[in-house]
Structure 1
Amino acid sequence: MKKENDNLDQLFNKFENQWDVQELNSDHQDVFLNKLNRKEPKKKNYWFVASIAATIVLMLGISVFYQTDKPKEFKFASKETQRTDSIFSILIDNELVKLKEKSSPENEQIISDALKQMKVFDADYQKIINELQKNGENKQIIYAMISNLQTRISFLQTVLKRIEENENLKNTSHEKTL
């Protein structure tokens, strides 16, 4: 223990002339107490409030932007039913893409009518999904759901076939006139 004290004494002796030993002013305590008791008006941090408001607006904007418009999504179905819905939905989306790719002035009316019919199918499908959520899964509802999805795919394929036939007919009639 004595050795430790000797080491400390040596350390303090080493810095003996480097200590800050300046005396405080006699009125230092009064100045300190005045500063302590003085009530300064609180600074209003508008930037803090504005940043919170901006964050809230941003979050609301993102949540509205990323909401899906798919009314056909349902949460009360089994995984198999959801998987079936998802597979058929992908097939239907692919057929819709093909249909939109065929868009031309000659096909405009056919495509427009087909899209109107698809809205009717979608409305029927939404009724089926509502029934599924309300009453749970049963064979009749599942059959109606699959039947609707199959009908949509068949309908889109038929429309695409008609468009191709019209295009082929137009091309062959032009070849004969030349």
Structure 2
Amino acid sequence: MKKDDIDTLFEQNRTDFDVHDTPQGHQKRFLAKLNAKTEAEKNVSKEKQTEKGNWWKPISIAATIAVLIAIGFLFQNNEAKASDLASVSPEMEKTQSFFTSAINKELQTLKSFDTPETKELVADALTQIEVLEKEYETLKGDLAESGNDKRVIYAMITNFQNRIDLLENVIKTIEEIKTLKANRNENTI
């Protein structure tokens, strides 16, 4: 059947279909129910969107915490690497220990010669040692950045050697000065 035939059929039988009158206010009640249902569907839709949209907040917080922990771990590792030669290998730890004890021994010897006659010489030597120690601190940072590059390790060992050589030379000079002074005193007597 065509659409026109259906429309004609309804028009001809309209009185057969209109058995009851529509109660008053039916249209208002129907629209109210329809609006209530539409609002309920919107609320459910918003709740689903909220539930779906809320998953990103905990995940983003967790991701942020994970990134901060990773950054902290990397900085902690860099600080450990930047500590000194001891972080490179057990052999380098022994080397560093040897140089450190030798430098401390020489420093004690130098400080024992701190007299009014040698005061300037000792102060100058200590200033030069401070400069070398600052260079060593820079080398520690370079060691961490370079990933234990052998050239940096060699520079660190050379720095230790330079400090020892400096201290030995100053101590030798002070001893020569004392010997010369003692000889002069013997010759004058």
Q: TM-score, normalised by structure 1?
A: 0.57
- Alpha-carbon separation, structure 1, partners of 2:114 and 2:89: 38
1:139 aligned residue: 150
> Is residue 84 of structure 1 aligned with residue 95 of structure 2?
yes
Of 104, 110, 117 in structure 2, the residue corresponding to residue 93 of structure 1 is 104
Q: Is the 8 A contact 2:85 2:96 kept in 1?
A: no
Q: Structure 2: 5+ residue runs without aligned partners?
A: 1-81
1:134 CA displacement: 2.0
Whether contact under 8 Å (2:87, 2:93) holds in the other structure is no
Instruction: Tell me the equivalent position of 1:53.
Output: none
Partner Cα distance (2:85, 2:167) in 1: 24
- For residue 151 of structure 1, what is the amino acid of its counterpart? N
Instruction: Please name the residue that 1:21 is paired with.
Output: none
More contact order relative to length (CA 8 Å, sep ≥ 6): 1
Structure 1 residues 72, 122: closer, same or farther in 2, change over 3 A?
farther
Give the 3 Å change call, closer, same or farther, for CA 75–87 of structure 1 in structure 2: closer
**What's the secondary structure of 2:164's corresponding residue?**
helix
- Match of 1:162, as an amino acid? T
Whole-angstrom CA distance in 1 between matches of 2:179 and 2:87: 46
Note the alpha carbon deviations across 1:23-52, whole angstroms, 9 max, x for none.
xxxxxxxxxxxxxxxxxxxxxxxxxxxxxx
Runs of 5+ in structure 1 lacking a partner? 1-70
Question: How much has 1:160 moved relative to structure 2?
Answer: 0.3
Distance of aligned partners of 1:74 and 1:121 in 2 relative to their CA distance in 1, 3 Å threshold: same
RMSD of aligned Cα (Å): 1.8
Counterparts of 1:135 and 1:79, CA distance in 2: 19
Amino acid aligned to 1:96: L
Aligned residues: 108
Letter aligned with residue 119 of structure 1: E
CA contact (8 A) 1:110 1:159 kept: yes
Q: Distance in 2 between matches of 1:120 and 1:164?
A: 24
Give yes or no for the alignment of 1:119 onto 2:153: no
Q: After TM superposition, where is structure 1 displaced by more than 3 Å over at least 4 residues in a row?
A: 71-76
Deviations 1:110-142 (A, max 9, x none): 000000000000011111111112222122011
Residue 105 of structure 1 aligns with which residue? 116
For 2:186 and 2:174, how far apart are their aligned partners in 1? 18
Contact map agreement 1:99 1:111 (CA 8 A) in 2: yes
Sequence identity of aligned pairs in percent?
37
2:136·2:159 contact (CA, 8 Å) conserved in 1? yes
Instruction: Please tell me the residue identity of whatever aligns with 2:119.
Output: E
Separation in 2, partners of 1:94, 1:76: 23
Residues in 2 aligned to 1:75 and 1:143: alpha-carbon distance in whole angstroms: 13
TM-score by length of 2: 0.54
Q: CA deviation at 1:177?
A: 1.2
Q: What is the CA–CA distance in structure 2 between the aligned matches of 1:118 and 1:74, rounded to whole Å?
A: 18
Larger Rg over CA atoms: 2
